[in-house]
Structure 1
Amino acid sequence: MNALKSLQKHLMTSTSYMIPFVVAGGILFAISVMLSGEAAVPDAGWLAKLNQIGAAGLALFIPILGGYIAFSMADKPGLAPGMIGAYLANEIGAGFIGGIIAGFLAGYVVNLLKKIKLSPSFRTIGTIFIYPLGGTFIVGFIMVFLIGEPIAIFMERMTTTLNSMSGAAKIPLGGILGAMISFDMGGPVNKVAATFAQTQVDTLPFLMGGVGVAICVPPIGLGLATLLFPKKFKSEEKDSGIASLLMGGVGITEGAIPFATADPLKVIPSIILGSVVGNISAFLFGALNHAPWGGLIVLPVVEGRFGYLISVLLGASATAVALRVLKKDVVEDKLSNSEVREEDEFEDLDIKIDNL
């Protein structure tokens, strides 16, 4: 259990460093396509240059993922072996799974190298020369000559299997990914599902089609519920509803967190239901999202936009209706706190005339 928690910690550390690359690259990529007016990558003019900038961010995020896993495990000496190993994994075709394995391998190797005793005068050289060089050679050798090719074959088969899914076969996968996305609204479980889809955006864009919907459904569904069923929410929650809608539009699931914090037992099941409905619907409609991001901001790079929009609407409506059923009407307290305490005290007294 401790080992599992340690692995999760290192993975989450790397994901937190990776996300800015995905955000910057993905949004610039989406903007370039949006301004071109076509659901295709622009190939000429300044929009092609803008797309090139976005593509650079997306090209870096697997090496960043591997590098910061190793950094979390072995500090700075692990960065170069982790990034180079993950880069090689991506080049070989091992994808994000290869990048993750390279990161953990680099952290482990560098920590082993650190156990080699060096004289005090060589410790600085060890940090900037011996450990990175030795770690990069060992990890690179293992990735290129030993495990990279088998991982690439596994990734190819997984891609083929997922691509061959159609109709009802996609429902279980859509349900799992949708539930994971909304379960902790940007936390570790969310990041695992989002990273899985984001790193497959070039080969399996239908994954991001569903996950892109699931990402925005919780905040949009909650915002919609505050508009349709205002009696279910306090005044400050109603004020947060508009902000929640906007955050959902730009693909920020965390917009649901204030509502979930206030009433987790009602809100979390509702947003899970909505994300599951939205994700499955997008899969069945065949929506393809070519940007590693979610929400409505990516519509310019979505194939099957009508299905994508309908899926967002279905998911948000499912969340809103679930909240309508689960939440009670908010009753404003008319009595002051002191009056409520006095009233409670009188209700607790059990005075009978026969006892006097």
Structure 2
Amino acid sequence: MKTITATFASPADEPLTRLAVSALQAESKLRGLQLDIVESSQTTSGEVHLRSNDQDIQTDRPQLIRETGKILDPISPRTQQTNTTLPPRETSAPVAVANKYLIGVTSCPTGIAHTFMAAEALIKGAKAMGYEMKVETRGSVGAKNELTAEDIAKADAVIVAADATVETARFSGKKLLETGTKAAIRDSQGLIKEALALEPSPAQGSGLKQPAKKERTGPYKHLMTGVSHMLPLVVAGGLLIALAFAIGGIYAGDEEGTLGWALMQIGGASAFALFVPVFAGFIAFSIADRPGLTPGLIGGMLASSLGAGFLGGIAAGFLAGYFTRWLNKAIKLPDQLAGLKPVLILPLISSLVVGLAMVYLIGPPVKGLMDGVSAWLNAMQGSSALILGLLLGGMMAFDMGGPINKAAYTFAVGLVATQIYGPMAAVMAAGMVPPLGVALAATLFKNRFSADEQQATKATAVLGIAFITEGAIPYAAADPFRVIPATIAGSATAGAISMAVGSKLMVPHGGIFVLAIPNAITHMLGYLIAIVAGTLVTTTVLFFLKKRRPAANEAAA
């Protein structure tokens, strides 16, 4: 297989470089090339050197992103697309053979940003320490770069950086460190050192007990596991309902047999009907593994049918999970009868207890609470709507993908299933503002941002319009006490305006792109004004808070 080496300026973790590497990966795989990525402090910032046995090409990153195919043509014509016997190598792994081989798994609730940021940080950290590392990413489209039995067998240590459930039984007997994605992004080398210092885990265990484990197994992680599994149902259902309204108008679901009616059956009567049961089921699954899934699904279905909504689903999920986990430990059976426990005893007893609790204890009061919340939100006008928008918007920017951000998002998504769409609009508008605001500020006020931050503005803006709030994290990490207050101010403004104008959004993800769908958003002009106003507020606050960079520093950058 022909090898091509791409040398980038160091460091290679800023967005333009990542886009260039991704473009090279895709094109190299098509042409049957083996790709090695190398960092060098000798390479001029912004330039890329491509080398093979018979060619040496120099270009810049924007041109490489735009015209990867043309640039690679002299090195390997497009006809060389036959060799697919070898899998693509991990692009960030060291070229030289390392004295340690590490493996990892990353996952986050939405599987969009933190999953890949954590993987990239781990690979880069391992390379800086002279180790080779392969990371399996469990993102929104499934597992990528999956670990093989051979990878696991030869691994010196395993790092699982996940905010959602990841099964670790396959790593039994290995040095296993379990933590969250933020810890991996923050200090990847520290985690690698900690993992290598561990003792191998027991053959039957799922890892060593350590402080990081507590973060990963708390209620937040279980809740986010439920969110990650129910989110596709809400997105698909919301889009289908919006399409039904676009085709058949406000009464699309009334005339049986029409296309609008069919779309309402698929989106509203089916996808949305599964939302709460799946939410509850996977909360329970996260707590008790497979035995928790059955009582969780049943409890969630009861919550939905009793009118307890997503709050009832949360209660059912946690009750099913913790009760089933306790029951599993409490019931001791001889080996001859052990097979009855997972298929008969646990599902029967746990479903009975959870079901009765939902019908007689939890369902009625939670239904009353949900009815009260729904009535309050539907009647909300004026200052009350502004305050709720301010609160939800500020929460979205406070930790950009962390627990507070996810709490606001989960609250809004849960209300979508009860036909309350205003908070969802406010949350999405607020979530787009941080990346857009910092990108605009770095474009307008170059003397307040580093050269790398200025180069990343286009990629950051794209993340912003796609409702990936995490695009602003690199700016916030570099200057948190100035950037975070600015983003909170802008997001709170966007959320407040969205609620004040009465915008309602039926689709809980997708950013600006879902606005092209008829009837997906109401009061679209006011909604766009909310996003623009929030972006301008963030940009303005950054102008006043961010200090000018000394000329010498700018030149050095």
Quote the offset at 1:15 in angstroms: 2.6
Query: 1:323–1:39: structure 2 CA closer, same or farther, 3 Å change rule?
Result: farther
Amino acid at match of 1:333: N
Matches within 5 A, 1:307-318: 307-318=526-537
Structure 1 distance, partners of 2:463, 2:327, is: 46
Q: Is the 8 A contact 1:12 1:188 kept in 2?
A: no
Q: Is the 8 A contact 1:199 1:292 kept in 2?
A: no
Quote the offset at 1:231 in angstroms: 2.4
Structure 2 distance, partners of 1:334, 1:72, is: 48
Which residue is equivalent to 2:187?
none
Structure 1 distance, partners of 2:479, 2:436, is: 17
TM-score computed with the length of structure 2 as normaliser: 0.55
1:320 has 2:532 as partner: no
Query: 1:289–1:38: structure 2 CA closer, same or farther, 3 Å change rule?
Result: farther
Query: 1:122–1:68: structure 2 CA closer, same or farther, 3 Å change rule?
Result: same
Q: Is the 8 A contact 1:29 1:50 kept in 2?
A: yes
Structure 2 distance, partners of 1:28, 1:287, is: 19
Gaps of at least 5 residues in structure 2 are 1-213
Quote the offset at 1:285 in angstroms: 1.2
Which residue is equivalent to 1:346?
none
Amino acid at match of 2:545: L
Which residue is equivalent to 2:230?
18
Question: Secondary structure of 2:339's match?
Answer: helix
Question: Secondary structure of 1:293's match?
Answer: coil
The total of aligned residue pairs comes to 334
Quote the offset at 1:275 in angstroms: 0.7
Quote the offset at 1:29 in angstroms: 5.7
Moved more, 266-275 or 216-225: 216-225
Quote the offset at 1:173 in angstroms: 1.7
1:221 has 2:437 as partner: yes
Which residue is equivalent to 1:98?
312
Q: Tell me which of 461, 484, 496 is aligned to 1:268.
A: 484
Which residue is equivalent to 2:366?
151
Gaps of at least 5 residues in structure 1 are 338-356
Structure 2 distance, partners of 1:59, 1:215, is: 27
Query: 1:294–1:211: structure 2 CA closer, same or farther, 3 Å change rule?
Result: farther
Quote the offset at 1:48 in angstroms: 6.9
Which residue is equivalent to 1:193?
408
Quote the offset at 1:25 in angstroms: 4.6
Query: 1:161–1:118: structure 2 CA closer, same or farther, 3 Å change rule?
Result: same
Quote the offset at 1:209 in angstroms: 2.1
Q: Is the 8 A contact 1:218 1:319 kept in 2?
A: yes
Moved more, 315-324 or 200-209: 200-209
Q: Is the 8 A contact 1:216 1:312 kept in 2?
A: yes
Quote the offset at 1:234 in angstroms: 2.0
Matches within 5 A, 1:251-262: 251-262=467-478
Quote the offset at 1:19 in angstroms: 3.5
Q: Which has the higher contact order (CA 8 A, sep 6+)?
A: 1
Amino acid at match of 1:15: V
Quote the offset at 1:106 in angstroms: 0.4
Q: CA RMSD in A?
A: 2.9
Structure 2 distance, partners of 1:45, 1:231, is: 59
Structure 2 distance, partners of 1:334, 1:251, is: 31
Question: Secondary structure of 1:274's match?
Answer: helix
Amino acid at match of 1:9: K
1:279 has 2:495 as partner: yes
Query: 1:39–1:174: structure 2 CA closer, same or farther, 3 Å change rule?
Result: farther
Which residue is equivalent to 2:117?
none
Which residue is equivalent to 2:209?
none
Structure 2 distance, partners of 1:89, 1:103, is: 10
1:240 has 2:463 as partner: no
Amino acid at match of 1:110: T
Q: Tell me which of 113, 118, 129 is aligned to 2:327.
A: 113
Which residue is equivalent to 1:80?
294
Query: 1:58–1:306: structure 2 CA closer, same or farther, 3 Å change rule?
Result: same
Question: Secondary structure of 1:288's match?
Answer: coil
Note the alpha carbon deviations across 1:24-76, whole angstroms, 9 max, x for none.
5555666x469x48986966877876676555544433222211221122111
1:177 has 2:392 as partner: yes
Query: 1:322–1:64: structure 2 CA closer, same or farther, 3 Å change rule?
Result: same
TM-score computed with the length of structure 1 as normaliser: 0.83
Amino acid at match of 2:465: G
Amino acid at match of 1:195: T
Q: Is the 8 A contact 1:15 1:191 kept in 2?
A: no
**Identity of aligned pairs, percent?**
42
Moved more, 266-275 or 15-24: 15-24
Which residue is equivalent to 1:133?
348
Amino acid at match of 1:67: G
Query: 1:174–1:155: structure 2 CA closer, same or farther, 3 Å change rule?
Result: same
Structure 2 distance, partners of 1:309, 1:33, is: 23
Question: Secondary structure of 1:112's match?
Answer: helix
Structure 1 distance, partners of 2:248, 2:533, is: 26
Matches within 5 A, 1:273-352: 273-293=489-509, 295-299=511-515, 300=518, 301-330=520-549, 331-333=551-553
